[in-house]
Amino acid sequence: MKFKFNLKYLLLTILLFLIEVLIATVLKDQFFIRAYLGDVIVVMLLYTFVKSFLIINDVKLILGIFVFSCLIEFAQFFNIAEKLGFQPGSLMYIVIGNSFSWIDIVCYAAGCLLLYLFVKIKDKI
């Protein structure tokens, strides 16, 4: 793992972040998009953010993001945001989340699988 700035990944990170904001605000009433697609995209957002600053093995990064996502999801099971003192509606409360769902883990896995496939296709090109 080496530090190296990558503008392409930073621009992708900004684009994915704006899509997530759009989902959370404008598309908040579109259940499928809000509940599932946002979770698929968020792992891609994490991937592009890390790749903006680090040269790192793609498979290890994708695996690490999946594990990290699962840890956050399991922390929601134990209401960690409330235990840390974050108020409902606060930024950190929203970022950490407040409801555990196995379907979210499936969405994270789907996002990571898509990332893996993109990486493999990119490597072949």
Q: Is the pLDDT of residue 92 over 90?
A: no
CB-based contact 51:1 (threshold 8 Å): no
Q: Structure pTM?
A: 0.91
Q: Hey, is 3 helix, strand or coil?
A: strand
Contact 96, 82 (CB under 8 A): no
- Quick: pLDDT tens for 28-80: 899 899 889 999 999 999 999 999 999 999 999 999 999 999 999 999 999 99
Closest CA relative to residue 73, chosen from 99, 47, 34? 99
